[in-house]
Structures are given as structure tokens and as C-alpha cells.
Amino acid sequence: MEDPLTKILDRNEDGKLSAGEIKRAATALLKLDKDDDDALSAEELKPEEPKKSRRQKRKEKEGEGQDNPRPPKPPKSPLMEALDTNEDGELSKEELKNAIESLTKLDKDGDGKLSQEESGLKSKEERQRGGPPGGGPGGQGGPPPGGRPGPPRR
Ligand SMILES: [Ca+2]
Ligand SMILES: [Ca+2]
Ligand SMILES: [Ca+2]
């Protein structure tokens, strides 16, 4: 499930917000405004539920015995946190008006853009790879964490 904010603000999905993307933030966000009140309700900001296929549903049923608690609320993205200044989970007209300013506040190095780190976004490629990049030299081929004692099995 993806934060609609992320999708709508990061137009080229590189995980960063360019100066242009920030400038267009308010306009872009208003595309989420379905009832035309120039504000975004929690409902309008909710990520769309992906439709489940039958197979997935069956899978869930089979796993019913397992304890599989879901967190009631997904963690807020840094973007939402920055934009929702009164933390009510909605973006009012006022908050949208300040969108550019709020986003600029996340720009710690003052280059007018938000890097992946600053925005908390992930690039498309990173999502596909399914993990954070790096590890660095020696990250591969090392002993497994918490290695087992004893001789290796064959
Ligand atoms: Ca609205
Ligand atoms: Ca708010
Ligand atoms: Ca930056």
C-alpha cells in the first residue's frame, strides 16, 4: 500500500522531490480533492486499497489460525508530517497553501530539493529491489548473522 502523497508529489518516481515537484505540490495535491472543497480530508488522503484476488483471499482464510495482527495505522510519511501542521490527519486549505513552505522545511541542506533521505521517499528502483541500498564492501559473502555452531551440514 502506498501513500498517495508520495505518488502524487514524486512525479518521476525517483524518490526525490525536485524544486519543480515542490513548486507544483499544492496543485498536485488538489488532484486528490474529490469533493472540491480545496481541502484534503483523511478520506481523500487514504491510500487506495488494492483489490484482492480470490487466491489472496483464500490464502488469508487458510492462515486464519495464525496470529497476524495488523497495525491499525500506517506510520505517517515525513511528507505528511510536514504538510499536516496541526496533525489532524487532514490537509486544510491553509495547510495546502503552505505546502511549499512546509516541504522546504524538510530541505536540510538547503539545495531547494528533497533528497530521498529528506523526503523519506523511496525510488521506484529501490522498491523493486525490495530493500535499502548498500551494505558496503564485505556485506556479501560474510558469515550469516548469528551463525550456527558446529560443522556445516552437507
Ligand atoms: Ca476535499
Ligand atoms: Ca491538518
Ligand atoms: Ca535537499
Distance 108 CA to ligand 2 centre (A): 23
User: What is the reported pLDDT for 130?
Assistant: 64
Distance 37 CA to ligand 2 centre (A): 14
Distance 114 CA to ligand 2 centre (A): 21
Dihedral sign from CA coordinates of 83, 88, 90, 96 = negative
pLDDT tens column, 103-125? 999 999 999 999 999 998 888 88
What is the rounded CA–CA span in Å between residue 59 and residue 78? 33
Within 10 angstroms of residue 91's Cβ, the number of other Cβ atoms is 30
Distance 86 CA to ligand 2 centre (A): 5
What is the rounded CA–CA span in Å between residue 59 and residue 125? 28
Q: What is the DSSP string of 46-64?
A: SPPPPPPPHHHHHHHHHGG
User: What is the reported pLDDT for 24?
Assistant: 95
Q: With a cut of 50, list the residues of the chain below it in pLDDT.
A: none
pTM over 0.75: no
Half-sphere exposure of 66 (CA within 13 A, CB side): 7
User: What is the reported pLDDT for 154?
Assistant: 67
Around ion ligand 3, residues with a beta carbon closer than 5 Å are 107, 109, 111, 113, 115
Q: Facing residues of 32 across strands?
A: none
User: What is the reported pLDDT for 47?
Assistant: 78
- Using an 8 Å Cβ cutoff, are 15 and 122 in contact? yes
Phi, psi (degrees; rounded to nearest 5) at 114: -110, 120
Residue type, 96: L
